[in-house]
Amino acid sequence: MASSEKKHAKANAYIIPGGFTVLSLRFDSDSVAQHNLYVKEHKVRAEKSSHRPLDRTLFVLNIPPYCSEAVVKELFSQFGCVQSVELKDHPGSSEESGPKLSKFFKQAENKGFKVGYIVFKKPSSVNAAKSHPVDVPLIVSTEEHPVKTGVQKWIQEYRDSFIEPDNLQQIVDSFMVDYDKRKKEEEEQQSKEAEQQQEDEDGWVKVTRGNKATKARPHTEAANQRTLHRELKKREKKELLNFYTWQHKNTQKEHIAELRKKFEEDKQRIALLRAQRKFKPY
């Protein structure tokens, strides 16, 4: 592996603006069409995840649809031992919200071009990939590791989509155990926050002296909703009706029209009662 890294270091790499190194890619050795990958060392200050160490992660753009994670891992293993490969539709953080779902319950992935994060076991592998010459293409499908495309790929994906009932039941049971555990932790956390947020009717919070190492009380969703409800009540009390002159005139007109309508209805009712009480001997 050391001789291979020296060979890459001696060759000339093609670097474009932005610090990206261009790597040429061909599907097989007989293919004439050539595809370009753009690689760069992953250096993001906001990245705090241990899954992408800054000194051993390679950021790759323009990965074609026929390259899966296994294919990318085999493709870049010539630069060094690959620890993990992560393919995504768009660049972003590796932190995923919510539980980790099985591949059988995930939504259908986008079949377009992707970006990748390749984590090597040694930092020297990143430099080897960045110094690879552009005139030496990377071969995707080889005799040792053939890659299926077209109808053969669709047939293989269709076969892989099936799962044994016992394995499916095991996956569902494992997910439900994790779900129940996460729900229990959330309920315990909410009960603790409710105890800390014992507010009276006026909105005062009882503050007790605690340990110096304890952090300030966080603003939870329940506390924010109660505060918003109190503010809306105060706003309704302070709201001024008929603030403008034209509003006051319109209100008076509507009130007078309503009184006239009631007066006419009362007149009709009284006339009806008088007609009913009139004496009729014949």
Q: What is the pLDDT of residues 145-179, one digit of tens each?
A: 888 777 887 888 788 777 888 887 888 888 888 88
In a domain, 155, yes or no: no
Query: Does 185 lie in the same domain as 122?
Result: no
Q: Measured between alpha carbons, how far is 166 from 106 in angstroms, rounded to an integer?
A: 19
Q: Under a CB-based contact definition with an 8 Å cutoff, are residues 131 and 4 in contact?
A: no
Query: Does 192 lie in the same domain as 125?
Result: no
Residue with the larger pLDDT of the pair 103 and 143: 143
Query: Does 100 lie in the same domain as 17?
Result: yes
In a domain, 77, yes or no: yes
| Residue 250, C-beta contacts closer than 8 angstroms, at least 6 positions apart | none
Weakest-pLDDT range from 28-32, 98-102, 209-213: 209-213
Q: For strand 35-41 and strand 57-63, is the pairing parallel, antiparallel, or unpaired?
A: antiparallel
In a domain, 138, yes or no: yes
Residue with the larger pLDDT of the pair 11 and 227: 227
Query: Does 225 lie in the same domain as 103?
Result: no
Query: Does 230 lie in the same domain as 141?
Result: no
In a domain, 33, yes or no: yes
Six-digit token string for 15: 């670097």
Query: Does 112 lie in the same domain as 39?
Result: yes
Query: Does 119 lie in the same domain as 35?
Result: yes
> What is the amino acid identity at position 16?
I
pLDDT, mean of residues 210-222: 54
In a domain, 215, yes or no: no
- pLDDT at position 94 is 59
Query: Does 127 lie in the same domain as 43?
Result: yes
- pLDDT at position 214 is 47
pLDDT at 31 > cutoff 80: yes
Query: DSSP letter at 118?
Result: E
Q: Under a CB-based contact definition with an 8 Å cutoff, are residues 26 and 33 in contact?
A: yes
Q: Measured between alpha carbons, how far is 206 from 182 in angstroms, rounded to an integer?
A: 30
Six-digit token string for 185: 């932790």
Angle subtended by helix axes 221-238 and 165-196, to nearest 10: 50
In a domain, 261, yes or no: no
> What is the amino acid identity at position 134?
V
In a domain, 212, yes or no: no
- pLDDT at position 279 is 60
- pLDDT at position 179 is 86
Query: DSSP letter at 205?
Result: B
pLDDT at 97 > cutoff 80: no
pLDDT at 134 > cutoff 50: yes
Domains: count for the chain: 2
pLDDT at 139 > cutoff 50: yes
In a domain, 159, yes or no: no
Query: Does 6 lie in the same domain as 71?
Result: yes
- pLDDT at position 9 is 42
- pLDDT at position 120 is 93
188 lies in which domain range? 180-198+220-245
Residue with the larger pLDDT of the pair 157 and 210: 157
The pLDDT-based confidence of 225 (bands split at 50, 70, 90) is confident
Residue with the larger pLDDT of the pair 72 and 2: 72
Query: Does 137 lie in the same domain as 7?
Result: yes
pLDDT, tens digit (0-9, with 9 covering 90-100), for 113-133: 889 999 999 999 999 998 888
Collapse the DSSP code of 97 into the 3-class scheme (helix H, G, I; strand E, B; otherwise coil) and give the result.
coil
Collapse the DSSP code of 59 into the 3-class scheme (helix H, G, I; strand E, B; otherwise coil) and give the result.
strand
Q: What percentage of residues in the chain have a pLDDT greater than 90?
A: 15
**pTM (two decimals):** 0.53
Residue with the larger pLDDT of the pair 197 and 98: 197
Query: Does 142 lie in the same domain as 16?
Result: yes
pLDDT, tens digit (0-9, with 9 covering 90-100), for 233-271: 777 665 555 566 777 788 888 889 999 999 999 999 888
Six-digit token string for 215: 């952090």
Query: Does 190 lie in the same domain as 143?
Result: no
- pLDDT at position 66 is 85
Q: Measured between alpha carbons, how far is 28 from 145 in angstroms, rounded to an integer?
A: 11
Q: Does the CA dihedral 149-151-154-160 come out positive or negative? A: negative
pLDDT, tens digit (0-9, with 9 covering 90-100), for 41-92: 888 766 666 678 888 899 999 999 888 888 999 999 999 999 999 888 888 7
> What is the amino acid identity at position 241?
L
Nearest CA among 57, 60, 55 for reference residue 22: 60
Buried/exposed code over 209-221 (b: 16+ C-beta within 10 A; e: otherwise): eeeeeeeeeeeee
CATH number for the domain spanning 121: value is 3.30.70.330
